[in-house]
């Protein structure tokens, strides 16, 4: 069975608000980069004999370079995605479109990894 996905417009995404996952621990480094640690649920197989043989980490770790940490810092739960893009463009002397491409791609990746959530997405569109 195919997974149903929402069809969102660019406007829907730009008006949504990125929020940091409250369970994420961010370990910053001196060079401006950081490692985000996201706690994971313990799967059932870990408690059995297979768990003795295969290593299991209780946290997923995501490496963030300095620019990623800067974008993550802008995701304060108050700014819309559009405002994050505007501020990133201003800080890095980019055009709005250049910043939009970078920030949107980065946000998509860290949403998939559980570092942030996007709140306020419109549900007016029907799933495919």
The CATH number that applies at residue 24 is: 3.90.930.60
- Per the domain annotation, does 127 fall within a domain? no
CB 80 within 8 A of CB 15: yes
Q: How many domains does the chain have?
A: 1
Sign for the pseudo-dihedral over CA of 101, 85, 24, 69: positive
The residues, ordered by sequence, that sit 6+ positions from 95 with a Cβ below 8 Å of its Cβ are 89
Residue-range definition of the domain harbouring residue 35: 10-119
Query: Residue with structure tokens 């949504």?
Result: 16
- Per the domain annotation, does 16 fall within a domain? yes
- Per the domain annotation, does 27 fall within a domain? yes
**Mean pLDDT comparison of 3-12, 37-46, 83-92, 114-123, highest-scoring range:** 83-92
Residue 128 pLDDT grade (very low, low, confident, very high; cuts 50, 70, 90): very low
- Per the domain annotation, does 71 fall within a domain? yes
First to last CA, the chain: 12
Q: What is the pLDDT of residues 87-124, one digit of tens each?
A: 999 999 999 999 999 999 999 999 999 999 988 865 55
């Amino acid at each position: 069975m195919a997974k149903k996905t929402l069809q969102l417009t660019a406007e829907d995404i730009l008006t949504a608000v990125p929020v940091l996952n409250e369970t994420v621990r961010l370990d910053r480094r001196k060079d401006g980069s950081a490692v985000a640690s996201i706690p994971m649920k313990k799967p059932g197989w870990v408690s059995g004999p297979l768990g003795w043989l295969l290593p299991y980490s209780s946290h997923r770790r995501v490496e963030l370079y300095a620019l990623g940490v800067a974008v993550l810092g802008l995701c304060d739960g108050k700014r819309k995605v559009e405002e994050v893009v505007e501020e990133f463009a201003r800080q890095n002397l980019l055009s709005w479109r250049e910043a939009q491409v970078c920030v949107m791609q980065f946000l998509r990746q860290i949403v998939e990894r559980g570092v942030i959530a996007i709140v306020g997405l419109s549900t007016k569109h029907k799933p495919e």
